[in-house]
Structure 1
Amino acid sequence: MRLLRGISALALAFGLSTAALAADKPIDAAKPAETAKAAPTALFLPEEVASEGSVTVRGARIDYKAVAGTLVVHPKGWDDAAKPKADATGDEAPAEASMFYTAYFKKGAPAADRPILFVFNGGPGSSTVWLHMGAFGPRRVVTADGSHTAPAPYKVVDNADSPLDVADLVFIDAPGAGFSRIAGKDKEKAFYGIDQDVHAFADFIKQFLSKYQRWNSPRYLFGESYGTPRAVALAARLQNADSVDLNGIMLLSVTLAFDFWADAPQWNPGNDLPYIVSLPTYAATTWYHERVPGGRPGALEPFLAEAERFATGDYAAALIEGNDLPATRRQAIAEKLSRYTGLTPAYILRSNLRVNLGQFNRNLMDETGQTVGRLDTRFAGPSLDGLSREAEYDPQSTAISSAYVSAFNDYARATLRYGAGKAFKLFADVGDWDMKHTPPGAGSAVEGAANVLPDLAFTMKTNPTLRVLVLGGYYDTATPYFEGRFQMRHLPVPEALRGNISYKYYPSGHMVYAHEESLKALHDDVAAFVKGRGN
């Protein structure tokens, strides 16, 4: 969850503050200065707390061992043979991160051929509480579907749809998020950026494979939202720099080329792709809320296919003409757009045929005084300002976030027995995320918006057995489902490799698992993919 949209603003929206972020110190922070300088000491030490449990998935009981712990990772260029200076403590020591994970190992399953699935959310800077407590962990929190979840007590149940039946699971919190921490000199610069983040995750995975003797296990990545470009760049990094091939990559709520983001495309005139790829999701939302002029078509998917054809055909052609588009043609396009957006032709014309997602979410149900969700447009809530141009909050985030945070804090401390004296941070305070990225073979960072499609193409070409599963929700405006499909259509790989890519979509939003029937389908699709039946 939480794709980049003004990182600082979102951090504030979820209650992160500098005071809260400072509450957890590196392990030496409380020592007197003379003690800290007496001997070279690491800023963090690995931790590990084991527990046991069981869950029934598809009628079969699975006994498992759970490990909640941390591994210490370092930024690029760190030498593991170097000795820290005796007086290098706190912000003067070289930067390092303590990355928190929760791993679930099925008892009685030989580790040699047992698949292992590394799971992470996005942000950037998000904890992995969403996928852990909503989708794949052995326990999940139950939230209201399409409406605000009532306050505590929240209901936490055994997750009959956990993929623990087909793979061991490792949930990883990004540096600075969840129970992960960063410390040392220039720590933010060392970990908060596209390539810095990928390096940290690669370091973590290699350490994990060594620690738990899983180097010969089938290996999969599962990333959501910003976790999708991370997964793609991470696969390329592991394969190219570390000679670690993967068996498969699963991408939920896909965005691999950042200039497609539809939050504020008005600041990049001339790039009309965000409007094109968002339109089918607008159509899905208009259909769901019964705002299609002239009446809602009977079935969703044929309506979406119609919207996709219009988006990449007449609509795209009209946008390309720009100011040269004749008035009669402009009027005709506005009237057709009204069918897919539920907005009036007059409003669409005032917007120059270009409606960003904030406008759409705010204005679709304006006559009822409601704003629809950004991450899941099935959700709606009262508009904060009846005269605002764009949505001022996300009704889906406010509807479920408390349930996830509360449930995980209780589960981590009471069941996993981890977190005493530590604050759980939903998001890291990433500040200015370094958006520069160096694709394989480029030699240096490429100017402009980052695009990891070259990373995926490189990885598939150099590992032609790699399979990719693209997943999405029809009601997601943060990463519209057609955005991922459109981008994958432009992946520069030969035809023979395109068959390694499969697609699954659900009648849900960004977090498809927030819809229970979609959660069940997600389990089955992931299980089939891991078993080699994903294409």
Structure 2
Amino acid sequence: MYTFSATAENAKPVSPAQPVVIEPEVIVTEHKARINDQKISYQAIAGETILEDSKGLPLASIYSISYLRDDVKDISQRPVTFVFNGGPGSASLWLHMGLFGPKRVVVPGDATDDGAARYTMVENEYSMLDESDLVFIDPVGTGFSRALGENKGEDFWGVTEDAKSIAEFVRRWLIEHGRWNSPKYLAGESYGTTRAAALVDELQGGWTDISINGVMLISSILDFSHARYQPGNNQPYIGFLPTMAATAFYHDKVSAADKAMGLEAFIEASRQFAIKDYALALLQGNRLDTNTYNATRQQLARFTGLTENYLDRVNLRVSASRYSKQLLRGEDLTVGRLDSRYTGIDYDSGGERTDADPSAYGIDGAYTAAIHDYVYKDLGVKMTRPFNVLSYEVNSGWNWNVSGKKMHFVNVAPMLGRAQRENKDLRILVANGYFDFATPFFATENTFADNGIDNDRVSMHYYAAGHMMYVEPDSLAQLAKDIRQFYHPKAK
């Protein structure tokens, strides 16, 4: 698909008839850690992989950090897990420094702001390095990764383009490290779950088949019709409602009787209302009779914590962005999008939208400082070009067309269904945060209820936290336990 020429600042001088040669920067260091009550020695490889076209010309530099355990007698039995975040436009630092990697940054678990440096870095007892070798991938335009020569970042920014470039990286990594016959896992968060589905399709979709043992979807979004508010699409109102119920419960905006039910029972009641009475009411539109409308409005107020007067004004349809501003308006507070346990203060309490996401600025300082401090100090990286934590340029330039089809709502879930039909061993783990307004858990449940997915090979897990549930200590411990179990499907 690529037909570009390229040059690079660190290219070796060659004759015009020869392809440009780029020497990738690679740093290898040795480390020891105690993980899951095991003493582990491992090698860290931080560096570039140069993707090339069919003529051997460089296309892009994909930066990755790999962790390889030293004391493995038979590496063909040792799993390898490829890890990435989402955005699109995010580097892999969140899963790296929050969950999977050997070092972890600690942020307040009670949904308060992380403040300013100095931040606390600890040895990560919850790392998966005892179970699997780990490869953290930064797609083009994120981290240190970039297009090379005359190629442009936009050539790699898209559902299909991204999957192809990451698939090529995976293929190269397996060859270079002699791991073609090792068990292979993918772990993605947020848009990284979209990437994971598209990547499985790319890896398994041809005769050069790289079959995947397991896919871990952390805060999943596969069918974007569940997250795109527009007139005539009622899916988001249904899918987001149980998250609103969880949020209202957390912030004490429900009745004493409902509070006494407990969080999970209240959420389950909201699920039943959302998929039955509420969904039917939205489908009927202006055909809804007055009595049913009033009963629906009353129940909607119960589960959202909003007034019936407000629900009248929005025609029984509350978007997540409006809800984040409205729920605590009387207290001059907003609630977070990534994690609605967080609260923030806007410049104008009377506005329609929040100024910013308090659950984003509540953690980004710590994670940004942690990844920079870690790669330069612990791994000895010498790279001086900027590290892109989350690129708005990549996000705004993303090509959402799939296979040449112009789809307003991308849905990659059928790709997982197909992958399961063509690979009897492919299993899926799904991790959901109850307080996640970016990728709501009920929308994920609705996606997995359809799309040809074999749910006998899907394990759903829930945590009383948000999009990045691992920032909350109890959720981190449980998530690590659930993932560790996922590597052992036959263990009880």
**Once the two structures are superposed, what CA deviation does each residue of 1:356-407 show, in whole Å capped at 9, x if it has no partner?**
0001111111111111100001111112321211223110110110100111
Q: CA deviation at 1:43?
A: 7.5
Deviates more, 1:236-245 or 1:356-365: 236-245
**Contact in 2 for aligned 1:44/1:97 (Cα 8 Å):** no
How far apart, in 1, do the equivalents of 2:463 and 2:99 lie?
14
Given the superposition, is the C-alpha separation of residues 188 and 284 from structure 1 closer, same or farther in structure 2, using an over 3 Å criterion? Answer: same
Counterpart for residue 272 of structure 1? 234
Amino acid at match of 1:127: A
How far apart, in 2, do the equivalents of 1:83 and 1:280 lie?
52
How far apart, in 2, do the equivalents of 1:132 and 1:211 lie?
22
Given the superposition, is the C-alpha separation of residues 318 and 419 from structure 1 closer, same or farther in structure 2, using an over 3 Å criterion? Answer: farther
How far apart, in 2, do the equivalents of 1:206 and 1:124 lie?
22
**Contact in 2 for aligned 1:72/1:96 (Cα 8 Å):** yes
Q: CA deviation at 1:44?
A: 4.7
How far apart, in 2, do the equivalents of 1:98 and 1:474 lie?
37
Counterpart for residue 142 of structure 1? 106
Q: CA deviation at 1:424?
A: 1.0
Counterpart for residue 284 of structure 1? 246
Structure 1 gaps, min length 5: 1-25, 85-94, 439-443
Counterpart for residue 481 of structure 1? 441
**Contact in 1 for aligned 2:190/2:220 (Cα 8 Å):** yes
Counterpart for residue 310 of structure 1? 273
Given the superposition, is the C-alpha separation of residues 318 and 103 from structure 1 closer, same or farther in structure 2, using an over 3 Å criterion? Answer: same
**Once the two structures are superposed, what CA deviation does each residue of 1:96-131 show, in whole Å capped at 9, x if it has no partner?**
221111111111113111011111000111100000
2:77 equivalent to 1:113: yes
How far apart, in 2, do the equivalents of 1:140 and 1:317 lie?
46
**Contact in 2 for aligned 1:256/1:453 (Cα 8 Å):** yes
Could you tell me which of 325, 337, 341 is aligned with 1:374? 337
Tell me the SS of whatever aligns to 2:75.
Answer: coil
**Once the two structures are superposed, what CA deviation does each residue of 1:26-53 show, in whole Å capped at 9, x if it has no partner?**
9834899xx7886756385433211111
How far apart, in 1, do the equivalents of 2:406 and 2:421 lie?
21
How far apart, in 1, do the equivalents of 2:203 and 2:431 lie?
23
**Contact in 1 for aligned 2:85/2:192 (Cα 8 Å):** yes
Q: Percent identity?
A: 37
How far apart, in 2, do the equivalents of 1:403 and 1:72 lie?
30
Tell me the SS of whatever aligns to 2:220.
Answer: coil
2:147 equivalent to 1:182: yes
Counterpart for residue 165 of structure 2? 200
Q: CA deviation at 1:525?
A: 0.8
Tell me the SS of whatever aligns to 1:484.
Answer: helix
Counterpart for residue 55 of structure 1? 33
2:328 equivalent to 1:365: yes
Counterpart for residue 469 of structure 1? 429
Could you tell me which of 248, 251, 260 is aligned with 2:214? 248
Q: CA deviation at 1:68?
A: 0.4
**Contact in 2 for aligned 1:179/1:424 (Cα 8 Å):** yes
Quote the RMSD (CA, aligned, Å). 2.0
| TM-score, length of structure 1 as denominator length | 0.86
Tell me the SS of whatever aligns to 1:434.
Answer: coil
How far apart, in 2, do the equivalents of 1:316 and 1:351 lie?
16
Tell me the SS of whatever aligns to 2:359.
Answer: helix
Given the superposition, is the C-alpha separation of residues 166 and 152 from structure 1 closer, same or farther in structure 2, using an over 3 Å criterion? Answer: same
Counterpart for residue 482 of structure 2? 525
Counterpart for residue 257 of structure 1? 223
**Contact in 1 for aligned 2:14/2:20 (Cα 8 Å):** no
Counterpart for residue 96 of structure 2? 132
Structure 2 gaps, min length 5: 1-5
Counterpart for residue 389 of structure 2? 426
Tell me the SS of whatever aligns to 2:216.
Answer: strand
How far apart, in 2, do the equivalents of 1:395 and 1:534 lie?
40
Tell me the SS of whatever aligns to 2:154.
Answer: helix
Q: CA deviation at 1:298?
A: 4.0
